[in-house]
Chains A and B, each alone.
Chain A
Amino acid sequence: NAGVTQTPKFRILKIGQSMTLQCTQDMNHNYMYWYRQDPGMGLKLIYYSVGAGITDKGEVPNGYNVSRSTTEDFPLRLELAAPSQTSVYFCASSSIEGYNSPLHFGNGTRLTVT
């Protein structure tokens, strides 16, 4: 049972480059989320999706874009990488079954922008 899978695990970008962080889940969860975690800080919500074709901004959306064309996939796009986007990125999903069902997280992508 794979759960939530994120690729790549690590990436180094130069300022101004773009990249897509991939996230896929095999639990048929409706809700998906992208969080970032900076050193010594909690996780902050970037974007979320309540189902295929529906996305919305979280707490820190600037500099990112997302799409949700299928239930399984929720990629996060960085168009013009900046040093402030150096962070660890976590994708998560949760079920529509029951209010407050726990989030299932991937193992993260560590991104460095230099």
Chain B
Amino acid sequence: DQQVKQNSPSLSVQEGRISILNCDYTNSMFDYFLWYKKYPAEGPTFLISISSIKDKNEDGRFTVFLNKSAKHLSLHIVPSQPGDSAVYFCAASVEGGTGFQKLVFGTGTRLLVSP
């Protein structure tokens, strides 16, 4: 049962354009959503997050949008740069009962930004 879904395995974008990565979830108990970025041979690194009480969060070129009624979130990267080429994982969190976050990850979307 895949509770967090990233239906696009890959996305190609030209440098300077907008990249939009999408994520859908099924569990309405999720209360926090995060995006992680992963380069080859490295571990994932935290990119941006959003609480379920908000519908938008911005950090520089990165903006995450949350549509709770549709159980959908998206990551916008504007403008896209070649260094953004990586795998992006969407993750959702349910408070784990002892104060820590128990993350559920999507399968990832590989973004390729070409010069």
Smallest beta-carbon distance A3→chain B, Å: 9
Interface size on B, residues (CB 8 A): 29
Smallest beta-carbon distance B106→chain A, Å: 5
How many CB-defined contacts (below 8 Å) exist between A and B?
Answer: 65
**Which residue of the partner chain A has the closest CB to B43?**
A105
Q: With contacts A90-B43, A105-B44, A107-B42 known, is A42 near B99, CB below 8 A?
A: no
Partner of B100, one of A43, A94, A105, A106: A94
Q: Which residues from B are CB-within-8-Å of A92?
A: 43
Partner of B44, one of A44, A90, A94: A90
- Show the binding face of A for B, using Cβ within 8 Å: 4, 30-31, 35, 40-45, 48, 50, 58, 90, 92, 94, 96, 99-100, 102-108
Closest 6 pairs (CB-CB, A-B): A105-B43, A42-B105, A102-B46, A43-B105, A31-B100, A100-B32
